[in-house]
Amino acid sequence: MVLQSMKRAMLPLGIYRKNAENLTNELKVYADEIERLYTEIDALIPEGFITTATGIGLKEYEELFGPEQDSLSPQTRRERLLGRMNLGEGDFTPAGIRKALDSFGLEYAISEFPTLNRLNIVAQTDYSKAEQTFIKEEVEKIVPAHLEFQLVFNTLTWSELDARDKTFAQLDSDDLEWDQIDALD
């Protein structure tokens, strides 16, 4: 107990005697606050490690890479963070890129074109605009610079495109670039 420890340490000074009520109360206030700090430190220590973090620690680690992912379970958040933190120099291979994509929860299909130094990544799930922005930023960080890549979040199927009741000439007259077509919802 902090109060007893403080009293023992102050005993040689001779001013914190049992009959010095105000000074004893002062020590008690200090001791209570130190105990409160110890409690907060005890709660904070596990947050400093990904494997034991459950709240603020996960948030802080996630914000190193992007937004907090508080809609996910702590276990999923930990797995993604550990995957991200364990990327190394040798992970800029197809397997390493997949490992990185998995680390931030992207459901995807990859098409590789090695002779063209090209990679196409197609998202297989609907993502909000904010999630798309985050994913684009993260993919740009992990794809090696010598590769061209395309990241597609196209949720518009051919059936949905056909349902617009436009001929190919009418669609073509929209004069959209591929990136704009890929962004159609």
Task: Tell me how crowded residue 62 is: count the other CB atoms within 10 A of its CB.
Answer: 20
- Close Cβ partners of 169 (under 8 Å, ≥ 6 residues apart): none
In terms of Cβ atoms closer than 10 Å to its own Cβ (0-12, 13-18, 19+), residue 90 is exposed
State the pLDDT at residue 31: 94
Eight-state DSSP code of residue 11: G
With 0-12 / 13-18 / 19 or more C-beta atoms within 10 angstroms meaning exposed / middle / buried, residue 120 is middle
Question: What pLDDT was estimated at residue 57?
Answer: 93
The pLDDT, as a whole number, for residue 181 is 67
CA distance 77 to 85: 12
- Encoded tokens for 162: 């056909």
Question: Which run of H or of E encompasses 85?
Answer: helix 74-85
Those residues of the chain that have pLDDT short of 70 are 91, 154-157, 178-179, 181-185
What is this structure's pTM?
A: 0.59
**Residue 182: what pLDDT?**
63
Torsion of CA 128, 134, 137, 143, to 10 degrees: -90
